[in-house]
Chains A and B, each alone.
Chain A
């Protein structure tokens, strides 16, 4: 009996440590639990990217299930997902963009707004335009409020303006079918 326990304890420890490390091997450390989940989208007042006179606030989410896609022309993965997002929007999914630019550093203001608009127009003409409109997160404050760590990231927002999913990384057929579509359909049915 005693001998068994002498072997059993190290083996149990080894198995536990192995499981822990094995999980770490395949887990994505960037996939953090979002703190905004199941909360109303934070308040904001931000301009339209193309018509800076138009100011949006969280009422844009009311009454419709929305995918809010955080992106920028400088982001390589965003360019990869644009064609698929365009396909989705053609199927009737409402997608709005939360645009932020790397080079408009609020402390220096390197890039002018017309330049950004030009870049965006070119990019969307090339790869497809899935966006109903783009909210321009000028100082990236709203991204910060949402806990965005980079681009692309996508938020699924329900008809009451509550954030129901935060997806980090690109959206492709696999991600859409396995992760987003089930909840999206459920929210649409409500």
Chain B
């Protein structure tokens, strides 16, 4: 069995060699590389980040991130580098602009609006009950008393 596993490892190892391995001396950079490739979006296959995608452009962007990190560029500088070429689209973190502010505002407005709606409706119901039904009840009671 052990021999079989060893054989398997030997046969498949060339496949591993094809995987790109980006190694950094600095573990901080290594971590940043993983974070950035998760956060940057592949412009070709748009629902994948560049870490997941196998498109050529994703390969190129990964290599670029690696190069820039080794040049000592910061996280913000690398994201800016990508944005200046592929637009805001390339980052999964949208910037706050007059157009995108609604992404944050709409849910808040909705919750406040819904709360207001529920509260005012409830109050109205209680009032309706008070006026109409009680008046009727009163008149019925009066009839009974007569």
Contacts and interface: CB of A to CB of B under 8 A. Distances in A.
A34 B84 CA distance: 10
A112 interface: no
Contact of A140 (B43, B44, B60): B60
A43 interface: no
B122 interface: no
B44 A32 contact: no
Interface residues of A, number: 20
Interface in A90-105: 102, 105
Contact of A32 (B20, B57, B86): B86
Interface of A: 29-30, 32-36, 102, 105-107, 140, 143-150
Contact of A30 (B46, B59, B60): B46
B85 interface: yes
Contacts of B55: 150
Interface residues of B, number: 18
Contacts, number: 42
| Chain B, interface SS category | helix
| Chain A, interface SS category | loop
A34 B46 CA distance: 16
Contact of A35 (B20, B46, B64, B85): B85
Nearest to A108: B18
A76 to B, nearest CB: 14
Contacts of A148: 57
A41 to B, nearest CB: 13
A148 B43 CA distance: 9
A181 to B, nearest CB: 26
Interface in B46-63: 46, 55-57, 59-61, 63
B95 interface: no
Given A32-B87, A35-B87, A107-B20, A144 B43 contact: no
